[in-house]
Amino acid sequence: MNAPAYNFAYLDEQTKRMIRRAILKAIAIPGYQVPFASREMPMPYGWGTGGVQVTAAILGPEDVLKVIDQGSDDTTNAISIRKFFAKTAGVATTAATEEATVIQTRHRIPEAALHEKQVLVYQVPIPEPLRFLEPRETETRRMHALAEYGLMHVKLYEDIARFGHIATAYAYPVKVNARYVMDPSPTPKFDNPKMDNCPALQLFGAGREKRIYAIPPYTKVVSLDFEDHPFEPYRFNAPCALCGAENSYLDEIVTDDKGSRMFVCSDTDYCEGRQAAGHHGSLSAAPYKERAQETSNG
């Protein structure tokens, strides 16, 4: 039941207005981090309080909410946020990417192509892409003001000097609308190309760091690189062990203490959808089901 002591979607109206104004500015200045007065939420920092506040400010009773954590609909974080909004806003929830109107995500972009009626809300731990290169907020703010991003290229160059290739595999910096360098949150760089020219609106909320930023639909998003070291998305060179997908982002799962491992789609909805459509991988669960049935019959 809805707890009557709380407002719709938990946040009070004044807070929602403040967040809504920040969202409008964020959309108007793609990639720029708008400061906002982040509130304490009934969950700890690091659990997606920024994303939750953005979701709470945009969510309406007609929305269908999907929450994923590293691509999965079934982890503790995803389930508790989904239940939080089911309880405080009474919204319908789903695991199906196509059905959702608002998708809150931690560290992944769904495999299924997003459409114009959707809003993707990212949970962001450290919104400032330059923070680990320059700890002073006053300095990073000036660097953004002057579009002075040489330091970021030096960092990527140092990767090449040390490892022979750009070793940054997640939170790979992007340039939005040819102006602001932006942290796409710790998504694997495999997902970076999906941000470019995306039909859906993308909103980013960082609760602890108190920043909101956005990529409007159909906006140019370029991963930083060099002419002789172009950006390359990375994925394990294997098909999904459950659904056989050759083009999805994979999680590596260690299956015993002898070094055995399996690779499965990180996007659970995508993987289950493919299995339901009859696709099988090398470790597909289907044969075991059949075997179990044979045993029970016998």
Partner 1 sequence: MTTIAELPPGFADKVLSAQSTFRSVMDAMARPGSVQRIVPMAGTPGPMMRGVAAIALTLFDHDTPLWLDARMAESSDVVKWLKFHTGAPVIQDSSIASFALIGDGALLPALERFALGTSEYPDRSTTLILQVDRLDAGQSFELRGPGIDGVATLRASIKPADLFERLRVNETLFPRGIDVVLVADDAVVAIPRTTRVVSKGS
Catalog residues that contact partner 1 under the rule CB under 8 A. Answer: 7-8, 13-14, 16-18, 20-30, 32, 34-35, 57-61, 116, 141-142, 144-146, 177, 179-180, 199, 201, 215-220
- Closer residue to partner 1 in complex, CB, 1/145: 145
**CB-wise, 4 or 164, nearer to partner 1?**
4
State the catalytic residue, choosing from 205, 207, 271, 273. 271
Count CA within 13 A, CB hemisphere, residue 121. 27
Taking the complex as a whole, the smallest distance from the CB of residue 60 to partner 1 amounts, in Å, to 5
Q: Give the active site residue among 48, 265, 273, 281.
A: 265
Cβ burial of 177 (10 Å; 0-12, 13-18, 19+) is middle
188 with 234: CB under 8 angstroms? Answer: yes
Q: For residue 14, is it left (φ>0), alpha (ψ between -120 and 50) or beta?
A: alpha
> Residue 240 catalytic?
yes
Cβ proximity to partner 1, 89 vs 264, nearer residue: 89
- Is 31 among the residues known to form the active site? yes
For partner 1, the closer CB: 26 or 109:
26
Least distance from C-beta 62 to partner 1, angstroms? 9
Per annotation, catalytic residue among 50, 198, 243, 281? 243
Report the distance separating Cα 175 and Cα 154, nearest Å. 15
| Nearest-approach distance from CB 13 to partner 1, in angstroms | 6
Residue 288 has phi, psi (to 5 degrees) of -65, -40
Tokens 């991963």 sit on residue: 223
Q: How many CA atoms lie within 13 A of 98 on its CB side?
A: 3
**What is the smallest separation between the CB atom of 264 and partner 1, expressed in angstroms?**
34
198 noted as active-site residue = no
- Catalytic positions: 31, 240, 243, 265, 271
